[in-house]
Amino acid sequence: MLIKMKNKIREILKEQAGISSVVRQWSDVLYSEIMDNPQEHHGKGRLIIDGYEFEVYDELPIDYFVIDFYDTMTGYDQTKSGYDDNGYYVVVLYVQPTLIKGSHSYSLKSALNHELKHAYQDYMRVSKGYGNVDTTKESKSFYTEDFIKLLNSGVQEGPIKNILRFYYYLSDLERDAYLENVYDGNNEYVNKVRTVLNTDFNYFKRYNDLESNWDYISNLNIPLVNKFKDPESFIDYSNKILKAKAEKIIKKINKMKYIHKLK
């Protein structure tokens, strides 16, 4: 009983209203390591950090981190993270040198909090024997390779793609990671969620490129889209689902701010 209670307390300390202290501790470690190694801050730079040297390893045993400096993207790579051939747990991250210089809307520290939250949630799945994030219900429904390629490319901008972007931001996956940024005082995410609430989805039906956008995207492998026969029914469904999701997220954000005494 006592052990059970101790575990419960540990859980609560680890994560409070969606904010994870272990994530933020690891983020502090990586931040210092990045700042201490300016010679790596270029498009081909790389840092490898041994996890066991740090105290937070006892709470979240990441054996090593690989940080690759890339000019084009910042993010957590779930395809390369996980157990290596020797059974060590590795987390692979990409960091843009321009992010370190401060030319993004997020600080390096807050971006690390976000990406490490993804890594942490993946660790919780993988270390318990479940598949990584790619195997979750949400990922299977829309977070496919085609979806990621579409959103990361400049092609096929249009009403259907705009709606898919909403799905991305409001996904459970991104919500949990963005919550860390909201905690850091960045309001961009809150504004995005509010945009969904304030958008008149019928407006999307009047776009000139609606049909062509639909024809292209409905032929990609995105099950969420594939189950609809025409763009109108997809738009109506999305309106209902996304507004309900957005309302829930605003509540979650308000609760987080209340518990952590944030303004």
Binding residues for Zn ion, rule: CB under 5 A, are: 174, 177
Between 54 and 106, name the residue whose CB sits nearer to Zn ion: 106
First-to-final CA distance of the chain? 38
| Number of alpha helices (DSSP H) and beta strands (DSSP E) in the chain | 12, 7
Residue whose CB is less far from Zn ion, 133 or 177? 177
Q: Write the CA distances from 203 to 159, 167, 229, 233, 239, integer angstroms.
A: 9, 17, 19, 14, 11
- Helices 21-35 and 2-14, interaxial angle, to 10°? 50
19-20/82-83 β-pairing: unpaired
The nearest distance, CB 171 to Zn ion, in angstroms, is: 9
How do 46-50 and 64-69 pair as beta strands?
antiparallel
Nearer to Zn ion, 177 or 235 (CB): 177
Q: How far is the CB of 114 from Zn ion (least distance, A)?
A: 6
CB of 76 to Zn ion, least distance (A): 7
CB of 118 to Zn ion, least distance (A): 6
Report the residue number, 39 or 72, with the smaller CB distance to Zn ion: 72
- Beta carbon nearer to Zn ion, 56 or 177: 177
Per-residue buried b or exposed e for 176-209, using 16+ beta carbons within 10 Å of the residue's own CB: bbbbbbbbbebeebbebbeebeebebeebeebee
Minimum distance from CB of 4 to Zn ion (Å)?
33
